[in-house]
A and B are shown apart, each in its own frame.
Chain A
C-alpha cells in the first residue's frame, strides 16, 4: 500500500510517500508561501528520486485544513488533479490531527495543536492517545485554554503544545493555564506531510478493513469503480478543504452588515475602485 501525502495548509509545503508503515520519502520546505509554484515540482522530484512512478500510488492523502485558505486550495486542487488522472481515491486528513498524531500515540499527554488564525483566534483541537478530546474549531485562544483546563483529569495531565500559533500565544498559554506546559519544538512543531501520510495510511487501512477490500483491489478497480466511500475516504470529485471558517462576505451577510445589493448605494460606487469585487 503506497500513499502519497500533500500538506500545504501553512507556511510549510510538504509531500511524502508512505509504504505500509515505512516513510519512503518526504520533501518539506518552510520558506515562503509560494506553494502554487513549488508543491507539484516537489512531488515530482520526490517521486523521481525515490524511483516511484505516480501510477503505482494507491491513494492520495491531503491535508484538508484548517489553515491558509489559498494554501489549502493549492493542495486540494493538486491532490484532486493527481487522483482524477490516476483514478485513485482521496483521503481527507485533518491538518491538526495529522500534526498531533505521532506525539499523541506515544504517551497519554494531551496534544494541543494551535494554528494562528489571526484576530486573536486559533485553529485548535486536542488529542489524547490518538483520539480527539476537543473537536477542531476556530476559537478565541482564551476560550480554548479554558476548555483545556476543564478537561477531566486536567490537574494531573501533561499538555504539549505544537503549531505556528505557539510563538504567537506562548505567554498567554503559560500564564492562563497556570501550570507547566511543554512547547514541543523542531520536527513536531509544524504541519508535515509525513504526519498526513501516517494518519492517512491508518484511515485508509481502516476503511479497507471495514469494507473487506485490499488496496490492490481498489487500485485495480480504480477510484471510479468503487461505490462504498465513507468518512475520510472519497472519490476526488467530493474532496473539499475544511476551512472551519465562513468567508468574510458570508459572515457579514449573516450579521446583517452587508447592504442589500438591490438598494441604491451611490456613495460606495462613486468611491474609486472596482464595485465588482468585494474585498476579502
Chain B
C-alpha cells in the first residue's frame, strides 16, 4: 500500500468541537505545522461547549488558522497535495464549517479531498509521535465524546471491540469536576487536583457490562460520586476534593486499563496505544504503562498536544485514507454520528 517514492503533503482541517485547527503533515507522520485555536476560555464561562457559539467561532477563525498553518510550514497552497477534513463525528454545526471550507478550497485549488473520521484521526495521532508504529495494535480512544476500544489491524482496518454504554470517559471527568466545583474542562483539572489525593480514600464502583467484557459504563460511577458529594453536603462536611477526585480517577483508570490489557491479551497483540484527550491524563498514562510492562506489552501514547483535538492527526489519517483510495468530492457532507470504521 505504501508508495515509498512519493512525498505527499496534506493540509488537515478540524472543527468538530471547540478547537479550530489546521495542520500540514508530510507522508502521514512528519508534522510541518500544527495550529490550534482553542475556544476553551469562552466555553468555560458556560460550563461546557455551547454548540452555536462554537460554530460561530469556527467561522471567524478558520481562514486565519489555515493561513497560519501554511505559513508555519513555509508553504503556499501550491505545496499542498491533498486536503483532509474531519467529516464526523462531532457537533454538526461545527463540522459543517470545516467541511464547507475544505470543499471550497479543494474545488478552487483542484486538489483531491478526503473526508476523515475524527476517531480514526485520534488513533492516527500515534503515528505522529511514534514513527515506527505499524498495525496491528490495540487502541483505547478516550475523550470528551468517545470511549472506544479498537483492534487496529491495518491503517484503515479497525475492529471496534468495545465502547461505552452511556457517558464517555471525558464527559464523566467534566461532570465530576463540576460537582466538586473545579469547573470546565474537567480532565486536566481533575488530574491536577487528584495528584495530591488518596486514591483509596473512597471506594467508588467499577462499572461492568454483563456479557460485554470490553464495554464500559460510567453512569453508575458518576451517580456514586454525585451521591457521595450530596451526602457530604447534607451533613455539612467539607469536601476533600483531592481524595474524591483521586478515588474517582482511580476507578475510571482501572476500568480503562483492565479492559484494554485484557483485550490485547485475548487477541494476542503485543502493542497497546491510547489516544484522545483523556489519554493525556497522567494516572491513565502511568497505570496503562505499568499494566502493559507487567504483560510484556509495548505501551504508546501521543504527545499531549496530539491527544486533544488537532488537525495534524486528521492530516495523518487523511494520508492513509488517500493511499487506500478514498476520494471525496463537492457533495461531501458532515456526519455528526459517524462510527469508527465507517465513512
Contact = CB atoms under 8 A, between A and B. Distances in A.
B67 A237 contact: yes
Interface in A237-265: 237, 240-241, 243, 247-250, 253, 258-259, 261-265
Contacts of A81: 100-105, 108
Contact of A269 (B102, B107, B175): B175
Contacts of B184: 261
Query: Interface range on chain B: under 10, 10 to 19, 20 to 34, or 35 or more?
Result: 35 or more
A150 interface: no
Nearest to A245: B52
Interface stretch (A71-79, A158-166, A180-188): A71-79
A280 B46 contact: no
A149 interface: no
Contact of A280 (B52, B62, B96, B99): B52
Nearest to A55: B108
A277 B179 CA distance: 16
A280 B331 contact: no
Interface in B74-104: 77, 91-93, 96-104
B138 interface: no
Contacts, number: 165
Given A40-B330, A80-B101, A250-B53, A275 B107 contact: no
B63 interface: yes
B24 to A, nearest CB: 15
Nearest to A73: B59
Nearest to B176: A269
A276 interface: yes
Interface string B39-67: 00000111111111101101110111011
Contact of A40 (B47, B104, B180): B104
Interface stretch (A82-90, A119-127, A168-176, A192-200): A82-90
Contact of A36 (B47, B91, B333): B333
A156 interface: no
Contact of A261 (B178, B229, B331): B178
Contacts of A262: 47, 181, 183
A270 interface: yes
Interface string B174-204: 1100111101100000000000000000000
A31 interface: no
A73 B171 contact: no
A236 interface: yes
Contacts of B108: 54, 81-82, 85-86
Contacts of A263: 181
B55 A69 contact: yes
A280 B104 contact: no
B334 interface: yes
B161 interface: no
Interface in A85-143: 85-86
Contact of A70 (B45, B93, B105): B93
B133 interface: no
A178 interface: no
Contacts of B175: 269, 275
Given A85-B105, A247-B53, A274 B59 contact: no
Contacts of A241: 56, 59
A41 B101 CA distance: 13
Contacts of B67: 84, 237
B52 A85 contact: no
Given A82-B104, A275-B171, A264 B49 contact: no
Given A37-B333, A270-B223, A78 B52 contact: no
B64 A36 contact: no
A37 B101 contact: no
A69 B181 CA distance: 33
A149 B191 CA distance: 62
A270 B226 contact: yes
A73 B48 contact: no
A249 B107 contact: no
A36 B98 CA distance: 11
B51 to A, nearest CB: 5
A278 B191 CA distance: 24
Interface of B: 44-53, 55-56, 58-60, 62-64, 66-67, 77, 91-93, 96-105, 107-109, 144-145, 167, 171, 174-175, 178-181, 183-184, 222-223, 226, 229-230, 233, 330-334
Given A77-B101, A269-B175, A270-B226, 12 more contacts: A40-B107, A41-B331, A43-B330, A44-B107, A70-B55, A73-B93, A77-B96, A81-B103, A84-B105, A249-B52, A261-B46, A276-B145
Which 10 A-B pairs rank lowest in CB-CB distance, beginning with the nearest? A261-B47, A81-B104, A85-B108, A77-B100, A247-B52, A81-B101, A40-B330, A237-B63, A249-B50, A280-B52
Interface of A: 36-41, 43-44, 54, 69-70, 73-74, 76-82, 84-86, 236-237, 240-241, 243, 247-250, 253, 258-259, 261-266, 269-270, 274-278, 280
